[in-house]
């Protein structure tokens, strides 16, 4: 059997493909096209694909750094069963036998699959078919439950199908873009940049609705720092305003929708006046009025929403409250106007298309008798499941209770990313069989697995993904598979074959799987009316064969046989409901799942940072990306901090009813008092106690089952330590006895190294013992002021710097940026002293914290250039290069210019 490994442009002499392979970025749902040109040593040069409609050649910081993630040193290269490396045959036999035994003893419902929006559509399709069609377990869910489920449910309620009406070009055609619960500057950077260009060129307005100030706020005309969880009040108020001020599209409402009057009446009850909206949302009346009047007076409005909407206990209602306003004004499916859900993962959309969610079957079919019958016949699968399976949070509860005994995890890291992550980790320990298909050799989830299966990683993967605008793009392989890694679909197909389902899983290539998927999408799907048709239809792509599949250009669905692909949907109605009308949906009253209390006075909001992807298994490998933010942190308003005795750079222990984490304190006036924010990227692999999802409660949206990751009641307190410090070293060092640590890769000039940020709680007398146990051999030079708590040691070998340890009683340590550059060149005796000073004698070369990771430009250099006369991001770019590659840092450069100018004006006065 074909192992699905490689079929690309023919290799040149020397064994590598010299021309660029067109593929797709494996990170966010923007789905940027990438040109990857492999080198002869297993790496590749990465560039944006100018021909891809999503990005037209641009890549953000994460995409640009993909080349840093291709090395094999952290890859899982062989199958491992019960801790021992083994062959594929043994591992696959083992998985099949154990699944069979568990199924025989406890029934098919004791087996579950937990999948990921990072799998390719073809992998996803096979997983779903195997579980729901042949093993007979309905318990197939995915990390998209944590991500897109509320949008899916909202779309289905309003449109009758999970179909996004808009396309990316609308972001440039709009006159008003509203970002709701989206930090697009960091999370969908290329779309954010497209918006910013249009804003600059056409004067388009941008409104940002987010409880905290983010990098996204920098490029917005109006920032609404909404009280968490009250978005639907704002949107109910907007609906009332639109109705009262004559902004409705009566014709659209009467011809293409139903339920308007009742929903308007309920919106009036929920949000009778602007004043009441302002009171409920914590916004100024004038800001609310400005937003409403902009929305009402603009004919081209695009509303983009992301996790601030989806990840809440009323996420589905929030989605529908937004869609209601678009339906009421007829601003849907038109150039420059409509609702546009930003998807998270590269294939969040593809997973939905194949039915990866527990409450869907396949190709947009559900569990009605007729749909089940249709899928059963198509798959020839008599054992097809009868009803919906458990959604993610409930699935892990069933594991905890011992009802689910076998779990196969693919492409996700639930021990880090699910709410109540400590409880999830405990649940995983209870399983009789935990199979994990992974790219890397260690994650918090993989560490608990009985069976570890090495899967193709990006660069090896071969298949398709669908982005936020319904555009299907190819991920094409450009590297040989690492070790004995195999395609996820191949692994499952081999298990299926061993279970006796060979006929249904005889695929020998992803093209064959895609073909079956495309055929199913068109199967009995030819009705003229959308009332009797399914939205997802790519039957026009059936029969394209291996060659057509390899050459497939990015294309938006639907692609029906005989008609052109649709850029936009629903401009003239045609919704996928029984009467082809869209539904207005009334929302329940706004509330957080658990209110704050005296015991838990803060609302803990969690999310992402610019240069890390989720649990850092890949972005964490890039020293460049690690320069931006190096440690887990909590953002807190300075007044809250001072009340609690927390200072900038000290450590705080955040606690909730579910767990605790110790992270660095960052004071931020962009955070409202009473609210705190922490990113969820860190795990037990790279931090002592930075697993932020262990804090998050398990409250879910009752409609979508999506957890409310943005609002857990919490408290926090200072962590007392005697020393703060960092350790820079060429190889990773994890000394014993630290009160806190967080490790990241770092660039030591041109060479890679490691940074360990740490804190100790120990008396000074024991310090030299600790240092001796910690630091590598070599020539040590030391600076010590025990009274002040200062210890600085540099270790040299052959006049090359080997390691640097700085400890201080104060959290105010020198930045590591300059020190890291000192590992590159030999160091004379005078130089050694300077190293212990932690900064250059002349001051000239000190970058300060890195802002632009592409060109490694630090804040000090940007400040100096600003003082030297650069007043715009463009001028900074011309002078320093900063911001001119991926552009991800432009919001921060803008902020730095503003703050430097303000400081210089203040100094002049
Ligand atoms: N750099 C980077 N980019 C990524 C990812 C990554 O890990 N790193 N992951 C990708 C994935 S899978 C996803 S799902 C997306 C997520 O992309 P986003 O949704 O943009 O990112 P988040 O940081 O999760 O949350 C967005 C914002 O919601 C706000 N918010 C919290 N509560 C509320 C509320 O009640 N109302 C409103 N209006 N806003 C609220 C938060 O303050 C936060 O700034 O990013 C994708 N892109
Ligand atoms: N507190 C909090 N928690 C959250 C969120 C939040 O905002 N706050 N956001 C949620 C959201 S929106 C998301 S999407 C999730 C993401 O959370 P996860 O999906 O758990 O995070 P990743 O680190 O992307 O995990 C993907 C894993 O799959 C591996 N992998 C990558 N590609 C492949 C492949 O092709 N095959 C296989 N077999 N393995 C592969 C990677 O090495 C990695 O270990 O986190 C959720 N959790
Ligand atoms: S915006 Fe960045 S992370 Fe998202 S697909 Fe494009 S390059 Fe990748
Ligand atoms: Mo996501």
Residues 320, 318: Cα–Cα separation, whole Å: 5
Number of alpha helices (DSSP H) and beta strands (DSSP E) in the chain: 29, 34
Higher pLDDT, 821 or 289: 289
Class of domain 3-69: mainly beta
Domain 850-908 sits in CATH at 1.10.10.1100
Residues 792, 814: Cα–Cα separation, whole Å: 11
What average pLDDT does range 57-70 have in this prediction?
97
- Residue 844: the pLDDT is 53
Atom of ligand 1 nearest to the CA of 216: 44
pLDDT tens for each residue of 495-552: 999 999 999 999 999 999 999 999 999 999 999 999 999 999 999 999 999 999 999 9
pLDDT over 90 at 16, yes or no: no
Angle, alpha carbons 500-502-503 (nearest 5°): 120
**pLDDT confidence tier of residue 845, bands split at 50, 70 and 90:** low
CB 739 within 8 A of CB 719: yes
Q: Do 80-146+347-508 and 3-69 fall under one CATH topology?
A: no
Tokens of 48: 């944006």
Atom of ligand 3 nearest to the CA of 34: 7
Higher pLDDT, 842 or 594: 594
CA 143 – ligand 4 centroid, Å: 7
Phi/psi class of residue 75: alpha, beta or left (left: φ > 0; alpha: ψ in -120 to 50)? beta
Residues 289, 329: Cα–Cα separation, whole Å: 17
CA 152 – ligand 4 centroid, Å: 13
What are the start-end ranges of the H helices in 13-87?
61-64
Ligand 2 pocket test: which of 439, 681, 684 has the largest number of ligand atoms within 8 Å of its C-beta? 439
Q: In angstroms, how far is CA 221 from the centroid of its own chain?
A: 26
pLDDT tens for each residue of 147-164: 999 999 999 999 999 999
pLDDT tens for each residue of 362-413: 999 999 999 999 999 999 999 999 999 999 999 999 999 999 999 999 999 9
Ligand 1 pocket test: which of 344, 468, 592, 620 has the largest number of ligand atoms within 8 Å of its C-beta? 344
Residues ≥6 apart with Cβ < 8 Å to 387? 138, 367
pLDDT over 50 at 4, yes or no: no
CA 814 – ligand 4 centroid, Å: 35
Quick check: CB of 342 below 6 Å from ligand 3?
Answer: no
Q: What is the mean pLDDT of the chain?
A: 94
pLDDT tens for each residue of 619-659: 999 999 999 999 999 999 999 999 999 999 999 999 999 99
- Residue 620: the pLDDT is 97
Structural fold of domain 149-341 = Dimethylsulfoxide Reductase; domain 2 (3.40.228)
Instruction: Tell me the percentage of the chain whose pLDDT exceeds 90.
Output: 87
pLDDT tens for each residue of 256-283: 999 999 999 999 999 999 999 999 999 9
Tokens of 115: 């999948």
For the chain, first and last CA: distance in Å?
Answer: 77
- Residue 693: the pLDDT is 98
Place of tokens 């905290």: 212
What average pLDDT does range 110-121 have in this prediction?
98
- Which one, of 808, 762, 768, lies nearest residue 788 by Cα? 808
In three-state secondary structure terms, 34 is: strand
Higher pLDDT, 847 or 716: 716
CB 355 within 8 A of CB 385: no
Choices 3.40.50.300, 2.40.40.20, 3.90.400.10, 3.40.190.10: CATH for 602-718: 2.40.40.20
CA 190 – ligand 3 centroid, Å: 6
CB 125 within 8 A of CB 362: yes
Q: Centre a 10 Å sphere on the Cβ of residue 777 and count the other Cβ atoms it contains.
A: 8
* CA-to-CA dists, residue 909 to 448, 870, 900, angstroms: 62, 21, 14
- Which one, of 905, 846, 855, 847, lies nearest residue 881 by Cα? 855
Residues 382, 498: Cα–Cα separation, whole Å: 18
Domain ranges of the chain: 3-69, 80-146+347-508, 149-341, 602-718, 723-837, 850-908
Q: Centre a 10 Å sphere on the Cβ of residue 401 and count the other Cβ atoms it contains.
A: 10
Higher pLDDT, 616 or 589: 616
What average pLDDT does range 62-76 have in this prediction?
97
Atom of ligand 2 nearest to the CA of 417: 47
- Residue 843: the pLDDT is 54
pLDDT over 70 at 715, yes or no: yes
Residues 741, 630: Cα–Cα separation, whole Å: 11
- Residue 18: the pLDDT is 67
Higher pLDDT, 823 or 763: 823
CA 614 – ligand 2 centroid, Å: 6
- Residue 838: the pLDDT is 87
Q: Which CATH architecture has domain 80-146+347-508?
A: 3-Layer(aba) Sandwich (3.40)
- Smallest-distance ligand from the CA of 69: 2
CB 46 within 8 A of CB 34: yes
Ligand 2 is surrounded, with C-beta below 6 A, by 116, 118-119, 143, 146-147, 307, 311, 344-345, 410-414, 416-417, 437-440, 443, 455, 461, 488, 606-607, 614-615, 617, 680, 692-693, 696, 709
- Residue 13: the pLDDT is 45
CB 165 within 8 A of CB 568: yes
- Residue 6: the pLDDT is 35
pLDDT over 50 at 3, yes or no: no
Tokens of 10: 């023919």
Residue with CA nearest ligand 2 atom 28: 411
pLDDT tens for each residue of 32-51: 999 999 998 899 999 999 99
Atom of ligand 3 nearest to the CA of 189: 1
pLDDT over 50 at 144, yes or no: yes
pLDDT over 90 at 10, yes or no: no
pLDDT over 50 at 345, yes or no: yes
Interaxial angle between packed helices 488-498 and 121-128, expressed in degrees from 0 to 180 and rounded to the nearest 10: 20
Quick check: CB of 672 below 6 Å from ligand 1?
Answer: no
pTM exceeds 0.85, yes or no: yes
Atom of ligand 3 nearest to the CA of 58: 7
- Residue 2: the pLDDT is 36
pLDDT over 80 at 884, yes or no: yes
pLDDT over 90 at 697, yes or no: yes
CB 150 within 8 A of CB 310: yes
Quick check: CB of 211 below 6 Å from ligand 1?
Answer: yes
């Amino acid at each position: 059997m074909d192992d699905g490994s490689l079929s690309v442009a023919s290799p040149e002499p020397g064994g590598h493909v010299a021309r660029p392979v067109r593929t797709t970025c494996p990170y966010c749902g923007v789905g940027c096209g990438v040109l990857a040109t492999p080198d002869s040593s297993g790496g590749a040069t990465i560039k944006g694909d100018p021909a891809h409609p999503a990005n037209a050649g641009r890549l953000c910081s994460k995409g640009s750094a993909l080349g840093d993630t291709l090395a094999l040193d952290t890859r899982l290269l062989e199958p491992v069963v019960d801790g021992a490396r083994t062959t594929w045959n043994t591992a696959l036999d083992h998985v099949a036998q154990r699944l069979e035994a568990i199924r025989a003893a406890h029934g098919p419902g004791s087996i579950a699959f937990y999948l990921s929006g990072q799998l390719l559509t073809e992998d996803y399709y096979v997983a779903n078919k195997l579980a729901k069609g042949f093993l007979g377990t309905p318990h197939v869910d995915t990390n998209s439950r944590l991500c897109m489920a509320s949008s899916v449910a909202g779309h289905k309620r309003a449109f009758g199908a999970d179909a996004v009406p808009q396309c990316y070009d609308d972001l440039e055609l709009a006159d008003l873009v509203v970002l709701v619960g989206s930090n697009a500057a960091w999370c969908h950077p290329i779309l954010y940049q497209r918006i910013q260009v249009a804003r600059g060129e056409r004067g388009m307005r941008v409104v940002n609705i987010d409880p905290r100030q983010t990098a996204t706020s920098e490029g917005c005309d109006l920032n609404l720092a909404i009280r968490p969880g009250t978005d639907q009040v704002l949107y109910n108020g907007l609906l009332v305003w639109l109705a009262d001020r004559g902004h409705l599209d009566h014709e659209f409402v009467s011809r293409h929708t139903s339920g308007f009057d009742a929903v308007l009446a309920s919106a009036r009850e929920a949000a009778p006046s602007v004043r009441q909206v302002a009171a409920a949302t914590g916004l100024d009346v004038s800001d609310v009025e400005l937003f409403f009047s902009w929305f009402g007076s603009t004919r081209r409005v695009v509303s983009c929403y992301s996790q601030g909407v989806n990840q809440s206990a009323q996420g589905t209602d929030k989605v529908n409250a937004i869609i209601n306003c678009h339906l009421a004004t007829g601003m849907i499916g038109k150039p420059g106007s409509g609702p546009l859900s930003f998807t998270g993962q590269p294939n969040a959309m593809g997973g939905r298309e194949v039915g990866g969610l527990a409450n869907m079957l396949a190709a947009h079919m559900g569990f009605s008798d007729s749909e089940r019958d249709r899928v059963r016949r198509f798959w020839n699968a008599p054992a097809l499941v009868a009803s919906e399976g458990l959604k993610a949070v409930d699935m892990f509860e069933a594991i905890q209770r011992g009802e689910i005994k076998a779990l196969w995890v693919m492409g996700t890291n639930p021990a880090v990313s699910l709410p109540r992550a400590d409880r999830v980790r405990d649940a995983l320990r209870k399983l009789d069989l935990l199979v994990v298909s992974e790219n890397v050799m260690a994650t918090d989830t993989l560490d608990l697995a009985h069976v570890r299966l090495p899967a193709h990683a990006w660069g090896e993967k071969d298949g398709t993904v669908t982005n936020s605008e319904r555009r299907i793009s190819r991920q094409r392989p450009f590297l040989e598979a690492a070790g004995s890694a195999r395609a996820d679909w191949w692994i499952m197909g081999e298990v299926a074959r061993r279970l006796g389902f060979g006929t249904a899983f005889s695929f020998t290539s992803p093209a064959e799987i895609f073909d079956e998927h495309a055929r199913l999408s068109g199967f009995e799907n030819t009705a003229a009316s959308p009332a009797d048709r399914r939205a997802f239809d790519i039957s026009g792509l059936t029969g394209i064969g291996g060659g057509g599949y390899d050459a497939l250009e990015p294309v938006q669905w639907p692609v029906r046989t005989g008609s052109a692909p649709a850029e936009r949907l629903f401009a003239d109605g045609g919704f996928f409901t029984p009467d082809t009308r869209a539904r207005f949906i009334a929302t329940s009253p706004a509330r957080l799942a658990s209110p704050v209390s005296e015991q838990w006075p803060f609302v803990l909001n969690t999310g992402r940072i610019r240069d890390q992807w989720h649990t850092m298994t890949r972005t964490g490998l890039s020293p460049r990306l690690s320069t931006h933010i190096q440690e887990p942190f909590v953002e807190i308003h300075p007044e809250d901090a001072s009340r609690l005795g927390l200072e900038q750079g000290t450590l705080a222990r955040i606690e909730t009813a579910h767990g605790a984490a110790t992270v660095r304190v960052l004071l931020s006036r962009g955070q409202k008092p009473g609210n705190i924010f922490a990113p969820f990227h860190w795990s037990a692999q790279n931090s002592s106690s930075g697993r932020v999802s262990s804090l998050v409660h398990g409250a879910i949206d009752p409609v979508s089952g999506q957890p409310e990751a943005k609002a857990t009641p919490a408290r926090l307190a200072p962590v007392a330590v005697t020393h703060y410090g960092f350790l820079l070293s060429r190889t990773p060092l994890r000394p014993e006895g630290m009160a806190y640590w967080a490790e990241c890769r770092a660039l030591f000039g041109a060479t890679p190294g490691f940074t360990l940020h740490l804190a100790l709680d120990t008396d000074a007398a024991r310090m030299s013992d600790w240092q001796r146990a910690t630091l590598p051999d070599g020539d040590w030079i030391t600076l010590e002021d025990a009274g002040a708590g200062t210890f600085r040691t540099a270790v040299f070998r052959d006049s090359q710097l080997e390691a640097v340890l700085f400890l201080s009683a104060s959290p105010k340590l020198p930045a590591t940026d300059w020190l890291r550059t000192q590992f590159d060149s030999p160091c004379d005796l005078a130089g050694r002293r300077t190293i212990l000073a932690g900064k250059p004698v002349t001051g000239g070369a000190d970058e300060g914290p890195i802002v632009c990771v592409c060109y490694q430009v630090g804040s000090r250099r940007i400040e100096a250039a600003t003082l030297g006369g650069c007043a715009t991001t463009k001028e900074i770019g011309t002078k320093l290069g900063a911001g001119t590659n991926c552009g991800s840092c432009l919001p921060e450069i803008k902020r730095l210019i503003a703050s430097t100018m303000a400081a210089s004006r203040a100094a002049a006065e």
